[in-house]
Structure 1
Amino acid sequence: MIVTVTLNPAIDISYRVNNFKINKGHRVENGNKTAGGKGLNVSRVLKQLGEHPHCLGFLGGSNGKWIKRQLEIEGLEGSFTQIKEETRTCLAFIDEENSTQTELMEKCPTVSEEEKEEFLETYQQQFKKATLIIASGSLPSWLDSSFYKDMSKLAKEQNIPFILDTSGEPLKLGIEGNPFLIKPNQEELTQFAGKELKTMEDMVEVAIRICNQGVQNVLLSLGEGGAILVRKDVILKANIPSIPVVNPVGSGDSMIAGMAYSINNNLVLEECLRMACACGMANAMEEKTGFVQSQMIKQLLKEINITSID
């Protein structure tokens, strides 16, 4: 069973507003309302691939109840830690006419020490069935930046692969927990390195250094440039075809889902990278976030070329 962790979920509501202007009223159609969070996007794609992921995280108030009901409607199971404060709401105003997107993101709810300990207890209870754990997204402000590091160490003690998809200080410290795989993009890897990474060689050099620190796999997502998978004994480059991009949001989460699915089904490394890229691309071709079509994945798998880098 694959376990996904979303520590900072939200109700995401998006409105399409042509010619959006500040200090002006706009009439809009009903907004698109979803249970948001990177780990939840990963879970959706995993389910579409045939897995039955188990979701963990914090939920509170009426918003938390709505998210839980929505996930049940989608057929996603979870063991969420209930908190006293209200789960946040995030608004997005999409202006297709001017190619802009304006977002209003509420501050995340505060979680007590008791609620945090309850979550960690629930997390460790999943070790009995978990074959792989995925932690995605930024850390809420009330959690110490080393929280992912601690989670990774707990999983490693049980020999459960831990995949981490985050950025900034949580990524830097999370690497110290020796996760099985991390998935930075070029911007996140540059931030980690503390210097500009201009070439593929520069990025691979930093990825190798991360592997030497104890991370088994570094998956570099390069957008239309494909992806690079780095580990101590091999470096693979995925070259991808051009596609019509409809909505790239959630493509990184879909990559993680494709990689996790492949690992969980014991595919060889080249096929793991191929599936990760196919899922990321398939998501980018859809209007919905965290949505892929199996037929499109099958087609894309044939068009992705994997090469080895010396």
Structure 2
Amino acid sequence: MQTKIITIGLSPTWDKTIEVAGIEWGEHKIVSCQRIVPAGKALNISRALARMGIGSIAAGLWGADDWDKMQKAVADLKKFAQIKFTKAIGATRENITVVDTAKKRNIHLRSKSALADAKSLSDLNRNLRTIAGKDSICIFAGAMPGGKLLLGTISLIETAKRKQAKIIVDSSGGEFKKIVSHGGLFVIKPNVEELSELIGRKIENEKEAIADAAKKLLNKTEFVLVSRGENGAMLIGKDLIISTEYCGKKYAVCNTVGCGDYLLAGFVAGLCKTGNLKIALQKAVHTAAMRAFGR
């Protein structure tokens, strides 16, 4: 049976990118280019999978105020991605990236999401029960609501577990740590800084240090996929340590936003196609590199 890939995001966003050829504080400039797309880590993963010709179900929350706008904006994805968001009261947040094309630098401005509440999480849980199953990989990606609402997030993950889905989590902060502590996961995808947060001490971006740290989490997850930026990625499991770097032709880095999402998408794509962890990791690193190069 074909694997059903479900991406689930609780903090979606509109990603607005503004390009300008050189700018300093206090200046007024006409922008060279600007674009806005529906995003968030989960939807980015579905988009990356679609670019590889792989289908997915894009689930999670989306704001009612801009629901119709989102439906039009994702029209190009619908050939490969089924859009099954749960409507939440309010507007989806907007994140802004300003790119200085002359000096090859950028700045990211992020706002908080307010879509998750007791009702929207309950509605999403009900919807998830109808789409998740033992042939599914459920990817929970992006920021997770904290406080009492974290229980609603954990309930979503437990629902997917009861449906015998494999669970992948890509998040950060204290919420990520609490989710991991509940265990029963298939893959978690921290970067080196997030891995440090998970184990409570600073980890250097070195293979041995990363492997030793990741092994401490293998009682909670089958695999730890660690993104290492320009150093590639590592996959650590029981009796398994694989490290891969990008060795192909290098181009100028255009934008690093979303590279981690493309890394995870590449890994899942490679795993579903071949079942080979080494090939999956190679696919992951290549996909992330092409994203960074704008290819």
Interval of TM-score (by shorter of Structure 1 and Structure 2)? 0.7 to 0.9
State which of 199, 214, 217 in structure 2 corresponds to 1:210. 217
1:185 equivalent in structure 2:
191
- Could you list the per-position Cα deviations for residues 160-210 of structure 1 after superposition, in whole angstroms to 9, with x for gaps in the alignment? 111111111122112123210011111111122222213322221111110
Q: Hey, what's the Cα distance between the residues in 1 that align with 2:116 and 2:155?
A: 17
1:18 equivalent in structure 2:
21
Q: Return the TM-score normalized by structure 1.
A: 0.84
Confirm whether residue 223 of structure 1 aligns to residue 232 of structure 2.
no
1:122 equivalent in structure 2:
127
Gaps of 5+ in 1: 287-291, 293-310
Partner SS for 2:271: helix
How far 1:148 sits from its partner (Å)? 4.5
- Could you list the per-position Cα deviations for residues 208-241 of structure 1 after superposition, in whole angstroms to 9, with x for gaps in the alignment? 1100x23000011112222211111211121331
Partner SS for 1:108: coil
Q: Hey, what's the Cα distance between the residues in 2 that align with 1:70 and 1:248?
A: 22
Q: 8 Å contact 1:111–1:142 — kept in the other structure?
A: no
2:76 equivalent in structure 1:
73
Amino acid in structure 2 at the alignment position of 1:47: A
Residue identity (%): 24
User: Once superposed, what is the RMSD of the aligned Cα atoms?
Assistant: 2.2
- Could you list the per-position Cα deviations for residues 235-256 of structure 1 after superposition, in whole angstroms to 9, with x for gaps in the alignment? 1121331622332222211111
Confirm whether residue 92 of structure 1 aligns to residue 97 of structure 2.
yes
Aligned length: 286
2:34 equivalent in structure 1:
31
Q: Hey, what's the Cα distance between the residues in 2 that align with 1:129 and 1:160?
A: 5
State which of 147, 166, 176 in structure 2 corresponds to 1:161. 166
Amino acid in structure 2 at the alignment position of 1:208: K
Q: Hey, what's the Cα distance between the residues in 2 that align with 1:71 and 1:129?
A: 28
Q: Using a 3 Å threshold, how does the CA distance of structure 1 residues 169 and 200 change in structure 2: closer, same or farther? A: same
Q: Hey, what's the Cα distance between the residues in 1 that align with 2:60 and 2:241?
A: 34
1:299 equivalent in structure 2:
none
Q: Using a 3 Å threshold, how does the CA distance of structure 1 residues 60 and 50 change in structure 2: closer, same or farther? A: same
1:269 equivalent in structure 2:
277
How far 1:155 sits from its partner (Å)? 2.1
How far 1:158 sits from its partner (Å)? 2.5
1:301 equivalent in structure 2:
none
Q: Return the TM-score normalized by structure 2.
A: 0.88
Q: 8 Å contact 2:133–2:165 — kept in the other structure?
A: no
Q: 8 Å contact 1:90–1:105 — kept in the other structure?
A: yes
How far 1:142 sits from its partner (Å)? 7.2
2:51 equivalent in structure 1:
48
Q: 8 Å contact 2:50–2:77 — kept in the other structure?
A: no
Q: Using a 3 Å threshold, how does the CA distance of structure 1 residues 153 and 36 change in structure 2: closer, same or farther? A: same
State which of 138, 141, 144 in structure 2 corresponds to 1:139. 144
Q: 8 Å contact 1:110–1:142 — kept in the other structure?
A: no
Deviates more, 1:126-135 or 1:52-61: 126-135
Gaps of 5+ in 2: none
Q: 8 Å contact 2:19–2:33 — kept in the other structure?
A: no
